[in-house]
Amino acid sequence: MAEIRIENLHKAFGDFVAVKNSNFVVHDGEFLALLGPSGCGKTTTLRMIAGLELPTDGAILLDGENVTFNRARDRDIAFVFQLFALYPHMNVRKNIGFPLLAQGVPAAEIRTRVEETAKLLQIDHILDKPVSGLAGGDRQRVALGRAIVRRPKCFLMDEPLGTLDAEFRDVMVRELRELHNRIKATTVYVTHDQLEAMAMADKIAIMNKGVVEQFGTPEEVYNRPATLFVADFIGSPGMNFIRFEGALQAGDRAIQIGGAPVAVPEIHETLTKGPRVLGVRPEHVRFDPASPLRGTVYETEYLGTTQIVALELLGSIVRARTGAERSFTLGEELGVTFDAKRLSLFDAETGRAVDTALMREKPVAVEPRARKTAHG
Amino acid sequence: MSGASKHLATAHSVVEPGPWAKRIAGTLVVLYALITMIPLFWIVTTSIKTPPDSISYPPKIFNFTPSIEGYCNLFTTRSRQTQEYIESLGPATSRCDQIARDRSMVVVGESNYWPRFVNSIIIAFGSTFLAVFLGTLAAYGFSRFRVPLKDDLLFFILSTRMMPPIAVAIPIYLMYRELGLSDTALGMILLYTAINVSLAVWLLKGFIDEIPREYEEAALIDGYTRMQAFFRVVLPQATTGIAATAIFCLIFAWNEYAFAVLLTSGTAQTAPPFIPTIIGEGGMDWPAVGAGTTIFLVPILVFTILLRKQLLRGITFGAVRK
């Protein structure tokens, strides 16, 4: 297993820049999700790590070895494609054994290793079936089997659950994470689905227009988004943005919105007057009849245990997540407060998060791989 | 069966033609097939007629006595002899010998038909193999790699088919004479390959374009070279396209007449220019010509029947996208 180090990785297709000066490190045994909307460069990054695309600039290091321009077959990595790319003219057994055949592994050993792998993935009963008749989940497992049978340095997966239906995807998410816990292989997983990324990954790299906007644990990207894009992309519904004009002073613990003071985490930098954004997660909106901030109920969405209440507040729509037991009437006026310690501030011009006490909060110490074992 | 479902069972489907439409279409297809079969029928029946029957007027369509004279004449050469000489010989050694003697002739040797037929097989299959082999490699390159001026090159390749090949017959004739390729199997193989390879590239490119790149990429990552990935992953999936292309190339090379007449006369002559040269006593020996043509049809018939599924796929190729 190996560490993957990406240094100033850059890829242009003619005039179109697909990946712009990316830098990140995936530590040995870590599960990284590359998350972003389509066309953000996540798949291109993955293909460059695999050796299917060559970068315009920058370096890729596998376990310290520079493999930037090495052939794919010399990198000792495994790749799971979105459509699985199972060879249609071979049965399951031959598909899984195909990488071993390339390495010149003796037939008897291929047989035992394929069977071990199939047992691990619980597909040993379909080994001699043709791949064409398999169900989506079994195809997925065969593709995984072909990847793990070789014991490569790392796994690269390109939206491997993208074609499965929602119900089955949840099952596979759990299976994939369980598999990762068992074999502890460094994994880079491309997805546009934040739930998949949050559920599986130790680290998430959120990409937008070829740029890695933030790299961190799921908790970090959710609780301390580094940019407006990340704040909006992560979370469902996304973070509420309240625009305001103002100067920020280091040491301040409140800002002025609509004439009312709003407590925020202590600000650590000074910014002159300009357009700013206050970011509030829906679950950090509270109702307090005494609050001077007043909003009117615009719509409600009932979700069973919680409900989403959309309020018209200071000219924008603010969504609040609250218990399902309370009922609201449309047009009802409510006093609103926010959970002061959990608010984000952004500079609207650059989209960057303002340095506050929240941003400097020590990440909660979690052993990355122990964190998810509850699944297993 | 309830009323509603009875109604459904007899209802017209939007996509399925109705029973009458099917019957009419079926009749038309059978009629068309019968009409196209007439020349074939005439060739085959002519081959089993006697020479007088083959040119009788009004023509004998069914009311003739079958005879193997055509086949005898096709494979033998005969010379006319006096009745005394024929009677001085011993009894006839074969049925063909007997038929010849009945016409006051004796068999003096084998004809050139069989060597010409073998030439046809060598040249047609050789050129088909070469055209499909080169075409597959070129099509793969065009399909997968960034080739400079790709579209222009593809158009150039197609443009070689825009005039009838015979239009360049004279330059080719002169070129072949200078190069010593006239009347050689190699020369004919090269010529038919050159004519067929453009068709092969275009047909195969379409088929290879349909094979997802992920298969090769998976093989490349699994530790194979580009060449190994091509042979182990792409080729097995391109077999349909390769078979369809091979049939088209083979049919052209097998039936080609004009260049064969022009460039071959002896050792490398193929069957098509040879068959019309079968002349009997006092005019064309039509049963022998019919026999030569009938035998000539057999290989292509067998090949087409063996690969008919692929041929159909090749014809309808591109009509429906997945």
Structural domains for chain B: 17-111+278-301 (no CATH), 114-272 (1.10.3720.10)
Q: What ipTM describes this predicted complex?
A: 0.80
Statement: residue B163 has pLDDT above 90: no
The pair phi, psi for residue B188, each rounded to 5°, is: -70, -40
Statement: residue B282 has pLDDT above 80: no
Cα B304 from Cα B244, distance rounded (Å) = 10
Nearest-Cα distance to chain A for B322, in Å, is 15
Q: What is the pLDDT of residues A243-256, one digit of tens each?
A: 888 888 888 888 88
A297 with A328: CB under 8 angstroms?
yes
Q: What is the pLDDT of residues B23-73, one digit of tens each?
A: 999 999 999 999 999 999 999 999 999 888 888 888 888 888 899 999 998
Residue B17, pLDDT score: 77
Nearest to A77 among B221, B225, B228 (CB): B221
* Average pLDDT of the segment spanning A202-206: 95
Which residue of chain A comes nearest to B236, CA vs CA?
Answer: A89
Cα A208 from Cα A91, distance rounded (Å) = 39
pLDDT interval class at A376 (50, 70, 90): very low
* Average pLDDT of the segment spanning B12-23: 78
Nearest-Cα distance to chain B for A99, in Å, is 5
pLDDT interval class at B138 (50, 70, 90): very high
Cα B155 from Cα A118, distance rounded (Å) = 49
pLDDT interval class at B100 (50, 70, 90): confident
> Which amino acid, residue A274?
G
pLDDT interval class at B183 (50, 70, 90): very high
pTM: 0.77
Cα A362 from Cα A220, distance rounded (Å) = 10
Residue A327, pLDDT score: 87
For chain A, the average pLDDT equals 88
Contact list, B223 vs chain A (CB under 8 Å) = 73, 99, 102-103, 150
CA B121-B126-B128 angle, to 5 degrees, is 100
> By CB neighbour count within 10 A (0-12 exposed, 13-18 middle, 19+ buried), where does A321 fall?
middle
Q: What is the pLDDT of residues A301-314, one digit of tens each?
A: 998 889 999 999 88
Note whether A98 contacts B219, CB cutoff 8 Å.
Answer: yes
Residue B229, pLDDT score: 92
Residue count (chain A): 376
Cα A58 from Cα A7, distance rounded (Å) = 6
Residue B166, pLDDT score: 82
* Average pLDDT of the segment spanning B256-276: 90
Nearest-Cα distance to chain A for B233, in Å, is 7
Note whether B217 contacts A73, CB cutoff 8 Å.
Answer: no
Q: Which domains does chain A have, with CATH numbers?
A: 4-223 (3.40.50.300), 228-360 (2.40.50.140)
CA A301 to chain centre: 26
Note whether B217 contacts A85, CB cutoff 8 Å.
Answer: yes
Statement: residue B278 has pLDDT above 90: no
* Average pLDDT of the segment spanning A58-70: 92
pLDDT interval class at B304 (50, 70, 90): confident
**Interface list for chain A against chain B, based on CB atoms closer than 8 Å:** 50-52, 71-73, 75, 77-79, 81, 83, 85, 87-89, 98-99, 102-103, 146, 150
Note whether B223 contacts A103, CB cutoff 8 Å.
Answer: yes
Interface with A, mutate which of B210, B222, B242 (most A CBs under 10 A): B222
Which residue of chain A comes nearest to B233, CA vs CA?
Answer: A87
pLDDT interval class at B108 (50, 70, 90): confident
* Average pLDDT of the segment spanning A21-29: 92
What percentage of chain B reaches a pLDDT higher than 70? 91
pLDDT interval class at B160 (50, 70, 90): confident
Statement: residue B200 has pLDDT above 50: yes
Contact list, B234 vs chain A (CB under 8 Å) = none
Which residue of chain A comes nearest to B228, CA vs CA?
Answer: A102
Statement: residue B320 has pLDDT above 60: no
β-pairing, B279-280 vs A306-313, is: unpaired
CA A273 to chain centre: 34
Nearest-Cα distance to chain A for B318, in Å, is 21
